[in-house]
Structure 1
Amino acid sequence: MGFLGFIYFTFIVVVVIQFIFYVFVFGKLAFFKPQKAVSKNIAVSVIICAKNEAENLRRFLPSIIEQEYPDFEVVLINDSSKDDTLEVMQDFAKAHINIKVVDVKSIEAFWGNKKYALTLGIKAAKNDYLLFTDADCKPVSKYWIKEMCAHFDSEKSVVLGYGAYAKIKKSLLNKLVRFETLITAGNYFSFALAGSPYMGVGRNLAYSKSEFFKANGFINHIKVRSGDDDLFVNQVATSKNTAICIPNGSFTVSTPKVTFKEWFKQKRRHVSTAKHYKLKHKAFLAIFYSSTLLFWLFAMILFVSLYKWPLILGLFLARLTIQYIILGSLSKKLNESDLLLLLPFLEIFLIMAQLTIFINNLISKPSHWK
């Protein structure tokens, strides 16, 4: 077997792997028909940890305060900010009796570690059910708390939500950021539906305080700078205790990065936590992303060489077709349908970015949060 023959047969294997992922993994979410959860009106503590976020708090905190929910408090954690974040928090607390401020001072052992600040905030929360978001996030509706917390019950102690990024017209970077977010959400929602939840995002995540303390908080990965959301979920989430929440009213929208440098730095920090996932999750993710890379690489080699090109074209188009069908349904659920027009381009661009991030993380460690 020559070089092109090897590439050809490997390409077939890669296409089969991609089919399996899109049909049997992403398909879990694409064709998922959620039943409307019944609101239980349980007492909830909304947790927001902020570091140098004064302007974002002024802009977005009112959307939290104005939630239509009968029993909730807002725990604002000031993580050693250098701007007037604390003063803004205190002003809001004076105006609203359901706001509690936790002022965290840096200590040498946990300098720059968000998990330390979050732990203090969680301890200060008066309610057992905790709902997390970021200072630069805005719920898309007044029923965010209601939608997310309706999924808690005697078995479900972890709820995974969708944290979208705001759309910016005529911005290629914005579409790339949102496409990466869509693929990531497709992965973690689908794996949860398949009975193997592995991560969530702190922009929209809920779990019980009892679950937090049962796991001894973040102690298992306290030395890892990032991962207060995905690593914790990877540790505690199971097929029985985890639910997903995908009604549009349950989404949050965050302010996206507006330069490639800022986004690249953010993704380096996020990607660095993946190596701490459970082995089975690392293996599945590695297979998916490597097979995507090899699909495009081998397709280009075979097309240029014209090696059995009718068969290659058929496999190529079949994979794109199933991808469009699955991601079309998935993106409609998550209100990201406008990304489909640039799907092949965005995928190739994302592969290149992820490869660059992976290489950079091997060379040097990403910085801690803010």
Structure 2
Amino acid sequence: MVIQVFYYLFFFRRLAAYTPPVKAQSQEYPVSVIICARDEAHNLAKYLPGILVQNYRTSHEIIVVNDNSKDESKYLLEEFKKSFKNLEIIPLTQEAKLIPGKKFPLSMGIKQAKYEVVLLTDADCIPSSEFWLQKMQEAYQPGIEIVLGYGAYHKQPGFLNKIIRFETFHSALQYFSYALAGIPYMGVGRNLSYKKALFFNNKGFSSINQIPGGDDDLFINKVATKTNTAIMIDPETYSFSAPKKTWKEWWRQKNRHYSAARFYKPKHKFLLGLYSLSHALLYPLLIVSLFYNWWLALSIYGVRLLLQAVIWYKSMRKLQEGDLWPMFLLFDLWMFVYYFLFVPALFKKPRQHWN
């Protein structure tokens, strides 16, 4: 429990208390938005217009890498191109057999990007506003090469939706807070920006090409530093995705995501592992401690619970997930189950396809 108190005081309070820095001057950078899509015609028809109509006066382009799609994506993109001249289409017709995942199509998109600032999202994502592009690039200032955004999920009825959104919030609480503490370790490809030079100066995905996932979190884990990473949590910069509809689909998705975590840097694995272990053992150790010194155990647990309630409340409101807070104690108990469910994913062989 003491370890948990430390994490809340040293790390998580940073997001709860975060106030965006005031910029001395405003600057608009040319931006290349990159989307990789394989058999995503339905999603492109539904979500791509929200990206094409971004309100941004400075030069920008929307690059869609059509990765060996067998559906109607080609014809759909050609129709969009007639109306939106800043849409660039990169058709890929051959598989990169030795590079599993979407690293090859993403690399092709970055290589052909005209502009230094690249902004990544997925074909099944839609920005929360027409100012997504403008405000994401506002986080850049001298020395900043990476901007971490929030990739949220649509609010829908049902307990599974709340679990998915809570887990997404809890992950964001960690990677935003770690970044604010000067220890950035990941970002999400649904809403992520970095400099093109950073990508090529670090030889792109060459060191992780053999891993199917990791085009977002493992790359950021490799190149992010204390001084080159910023966060952007303005509600107008969120991206929204459709959550999974069944527990089975969500289970597969989370197993795929966690399979890349074992490739993080040792210091990140230690910090994340210690927090997860202390969280997973919290209630079993609390019960045992009650038999030895019940008042001390309840006192420390009470401090931790109060810190958690306040920090989660403020952080959830910042990330527009405030409706989850009344269930915070239930979610805390759920995490005990959650960690044990997904520990095996850390040791599984990653899936070889990205879509």
Shorter-chain TM-score tier: over 0.9
- Listed one character per residue, the Cα deviations across residues 224-255 of structure 1 (whole Å, up to 9, x for unaligned) are 10010011111111111111111111111111
**1:265–1:366 contact (8 Å) kept in structure 2:** no
Query: 1:316/1:204 Cα in 2 relative to 1: closer, same or farther (>3 Å)?
Result: same
Cα offset, 1:339, TM superposition: 1.1
Question: In structure 2, what is the Cα distance between the partners aligned to 1:360 and 1:131?
Answer: 29
The match for 2:353 is 368
Question: In structure 2, what is the Cα distance between the partners aligned to 1:211 and 1:172?
Answer: 41
Normalising by the residue count of structure 1, what TM-score does the alignment of the two structures yield?
Answer: 0.91
Which one of 22, 25, 35 corresponds to residue 11 of structure 2? 25
The match for 1:310 is 295
Counterpart of 2:203 in 1: which secondary structure?
A: coil
> Higher mean Cα deviation, 345-354 or 151-160?
345-354
Query: 1:365/1:204 Cα in 2 relative to 1: closer, same or farther (>3 Å)?
Result: closer
Query: 1:62/1:39 Cα in 2 relative to 1: closer, same or farther (>3 Å)?
Result: farther
Letter in 1 for 2:107: T
Which sections of structure 2, spanning at least 5 residues, go unmatched?
Answer: none
Counterpart of 2:262 in 1: which secondary structure?
A: helix
Counterpart of 1:122 in 2: which secondary structure?
A: helix
RMSD over aligned Cα, in angstroms? 1.7
Cα offset, 1:111, TM superposition: 6.0
Which sections of structure 1, spanning at least 5 residues, go unmatched?
Answer: 1-14
The match for 2:229 is 242
Question: In structure 2, what is the Cα distance between the partners aligned to 1:365 and 1:131?
Answer: 26
Counterpart of 2:211 in 1: which secondary structure?
A: coil
Which one of 63, 70, 77 corresponds to residue 75 of structure 1? 63
Show the 5 A alignment for 1:183-222: 183-222=170-209
Which one of 334, 337, 356 corresponds to residue 341 of structure 2? 356
Letter in 2 for 1:187: Q
The match for 2:155 is 167
Question: In structure 2, what is the Cα distance between the partners aligned to 1:364 and 1:118?
Answer: 22
Question: In structure 1, what is the Cα distance between the partners aligned to 2:37 and 2:89?
Answer: 11
**1:176–1:350 contact (8 Å) kept in structure 2:** no
Cα offset, 1:295, TM superposition: 0.5
Counterpart of 2:89 in 1: which secondary structure?
A: strand
- Listed one character per residue, the Cα deviations across residues 294-338 of structure 1 (whole Å, up to 9, x for unaligned) are 1122224455xx554333333322211110011111111111111
Query: 1:65/1:39 Cα in 2 relative to 1: closer, same or farther (>3 Å)?
Result: farther
Counterpart of 2:314 in 1: which secondary structure?
A: helix
**2:276–2:339 contact (8 Å) kept in structure 1:** no
Counterpart of 1:109 in 2: which secondary structure?
A: coil
The match for 1:148 is 136
Is residue 332 from structure 1 mapped to residue 317 from structure 2 by the alignment?
A: yes
The match for 1:294 is 281
Show the 5 A alignment for 1:50-61: 50-61=37-48
The match for 2:114 is 126
Question: In structure 1, what is the Cα distance between the partners aligned to 2:71 and 2:287?
Answer: 51
Counterpart of 1:298 in 2: which secondary structure?
A: helix
Is residue 256 from structure 1 mapped to residue 243 from structure 2 by the alignment?
A: yes
The match for 2:214 is 227
Query: 1:69/1:142 Cα in 2 relative to 1: closer, same or farther (>3 Å)?
Result: same
Cα offset, 1:112, TM superposition: 4.4
Question: In structure 1, what is the Cα distance between the partners aligned to 2:352 and 2:288?
Answer: 37
The match for 1:115 is 103
**2:259–2:348 contact (8 Å) kept in structure 1:** no
Letter in 1 for 2:132: W
Aligned length: 353
Question: In structure 1, what is the Cα distance between the partners aligned to 2:180 and 2:221?
Answer: 15
Cα offset, 1:40, TM superposition: 1.6
The match for 2:268 is 281
